[in-house]
């Protein structure tokens, strides 16, 4: 590791979070100088300005000194420094019988999308506590997602890491007296940990109905349909791997803010997936009828040839509704059926359907079609 991509402020914050004492007299000389917490005369000395020509060399020597001092790998120290001002969630896939160093590209894509949904669901519950969020598009959660960073994975198991900046709340920006003084990112991560713990304990005690009743009656529910759905999507169904969520708090924040009193690690055995499905069903909103414009793909063509020699009848679609894929069937006339055939032949081309969707426990029924055509693009 010859290049250093951490700033002087990050190194300073990291060292101070571990108890190193800043020598203020050196600041006027353009240097950060810190004495070791053990009083053994070990010092860290590096430039305050990360842009000066000699900074990379000084920073690298500082990281090597920290690496030796704490007997850690240099890369590990650098990664900890990068995350010093962030709260970090690690999603770890593991197996009791073998090392898991990779998952398929498709599984990784789905895991990242599910992690994004988990963050949006939790952040939405921080801003507007509900057991179901019809749209995960509120401004505050979306802004949080923009600030969230994707981190390196680690050896020995497949780990997806996301970090959320710890940004202290400006008291002048508080709109209401009871508004939390914790940053939204911190509240979101705490909610994910607390909600996950409650779900696991509920499955352990087989009290799913009771959990739903408590959450529904609460003025500030922390578990939602969207959150349960995101956890289900995280599971690796192909290899039936369990996963765990690991929470690490910004080291710099702990200098002035108490460490959250929530679990730092929550494991989700694959055998719990069925019970999580059951819990999600409790939180599933009763959606009978939706009139809207839907987008989806043609999954099956089940029509028949009529007396005029043209095919019409039942077609099965996979519609994208909010964060779910909903299978729905429709009875198409001959003209509409030709459009469905064309979409199917194009290998999953999207169609646009302006109609009424009657949602049922298993799929849905599309009726009163006003417009049906291949989607643009």
Task: Identify the DSSP state of 21.
Answer: E
- For residues 138-159, give the mean pLDDT: 81
pLDDT score for 24: 94
Give the residues across from 336 on adjacent strands. none
- For residues 71-87, give the mean pLDDT: 93
Question: With bands split at pLDDT 50, 70 and 90, how would you rate the model's confidence at 95?
Answer: confident
CA 102 to chain centre: 19
Mean pLDDT rounded to a whole number for the chain: 89
pLDDT score for 232: 95
- For residues 33-37, give the mean pLDDT: 95
Q: In this model, does residue 351 exceed pLDDT 90?
A: yes
Q: pLDDT tens-digit profile of 219-242?
A: 999 999 999 999 999 998 878 889
Q: How far apart are CA 50 and CA 81, in angstroms?
A: 14
Q: In this model, does residue 15 exceed pLDDT 80?
A: yes
Q: What are phi and psi of 295, to 5 degrees?
A: -125, 140
Question: With bands split at pLDDT 50, 70 and 90, how would you rate the model's confidence at 287?
Answer: low
Q: In this model, does residue 102 exceed pLDDT 80?
A: no
Q: E strand or H helix at 34, and its extent?
A: strand 31-35
What is the CATH code for 289-374? 2.40.50
Q: In this model, does residue 171 exceed pLDDT 90?
A: no
Q: pLDDT tens-digit profile of 43-57?
A: 999 999 988 999 999
CA 82 to chain centre: 20
pLDDT score for 175: 44
Q: How far apart are CA 215 and CA 224, in angstroms?
A: 8
Strand ordering across the sheet containing 43-47: 21-22, 31-35, 43-47
Q: In this model, does residue 162 exceed pLDDT 90?
A: yes
pLDDT score for 176: 44
Q: In this model, does residue 179 exceed pLDDT 70?
A: no
| Parallel/antiparallel/unpaired status of strands 364-374 and 324-332 | parallel
Give the percent of the chain with pLDDT over 90.
69
Q: Which of 67-81, 128-142, 279-293 bottoms out in mean pLDDT, i.e. has the lowest?
A: 279-293
pLDDT score for 324: 75
Domain ranges, ordered by start, for the chain: 8-82, 86-283, 289-374
Query: Is pTM, for the whole model, over 0.75?
Result: no
Which tops the pLDDT comparison, 102 or 123? 123
Give the percent of the chain with pLDDT over 70.
92
Q: E strand or H helix at 139, and its extent?
A: helix 139-147
For residue 299 the two structure tokens come to: 């999954």
Give the residues across from 222 on adjacent strands. none
- For residues 64-76, give the mean pLDDT: 94
In contact, 338 and 349? CB cutoff 8 Å: no
Q: In this model, does residue 202 exceed pLDDT 90?
A: yes
Q: pLDDT tens-digit profile of 290-323?
A: 889 999 999 999 999 988 899 999 999 999 887 6
């Amino acid at each position: 590791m010859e290049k250093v991509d951490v700033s002087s402020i990050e190194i300073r914050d990291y060292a101070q979070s571990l108890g190193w004492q800043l020598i203020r007299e050196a600041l006027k000389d353009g240097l950060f100088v810190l004495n070791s917490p053990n009083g053994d005369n070990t010092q860290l000395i590096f430039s305050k300005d990360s842009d000066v020509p000699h900074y990379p060399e000084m920073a690298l020597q500082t990281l090597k000194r920290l690496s030796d001092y704490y007997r850690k790998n240099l890369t590990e120290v650098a990664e900890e420094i990068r995350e010093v001002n962030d709260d970090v969630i690690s999603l770890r896939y593991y197996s009791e019988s073998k090392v898991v160093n990779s998952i398929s590209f498709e599984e990784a894509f789905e895991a990242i999308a599910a992690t994004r949904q988990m963050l949006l669901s939790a952040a939405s519950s921080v801003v507007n506590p509900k057991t179901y969020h019809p749209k995960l598009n509120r401004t505050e959660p979306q802004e949080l997602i923009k600030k969230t960073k994707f981190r390196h994975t680690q050896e020995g198991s497949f780990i997806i890491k996301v970090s959320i900046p710890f940004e202290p709340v400006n008291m002048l920006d508080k709109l209401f007296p009871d508004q939390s003084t914790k940053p939204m990112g911190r509240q979101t991560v705490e909610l994910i940990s607390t909600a996950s713990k409650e779900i696991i304990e509920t499955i352990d005690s087989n009290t799913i109905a009771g959990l739903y009743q408590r959450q529904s009656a609460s003025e500030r529910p922390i578990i939602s349909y969207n959150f349960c759905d995101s956890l289900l999507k995280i599971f690796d169904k192909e290899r039936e791997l369990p996963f765990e969520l690991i929470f690490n708090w910004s080291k710099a924040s702990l200098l002035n803010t108490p460490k959250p009193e929530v679990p730092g690690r929550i494991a989700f055995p694959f055998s719990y997936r069925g019970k999580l499905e059951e819990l999600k069903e409790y939180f599933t909103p009763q959606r009978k009828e939706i009139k809207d414009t839907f987008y989806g793909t043609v999954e099956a063509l089940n029509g028949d040839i009529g007396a005029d020699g043209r095919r019409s009848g039942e077609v099965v679609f996979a519609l994208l509704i909010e964060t779910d894929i909903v299978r729905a069937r429709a009875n198409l006339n001959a003209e509409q059926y030709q459009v469905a055939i064309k979409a199917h032949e194009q290998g999953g081309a999207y169609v646009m359907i302006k109609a009424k969707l009657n949602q049922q426990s298993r799929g849905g029924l599309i009726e009163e079609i006003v417009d049906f055509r291949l989607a643009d693009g």
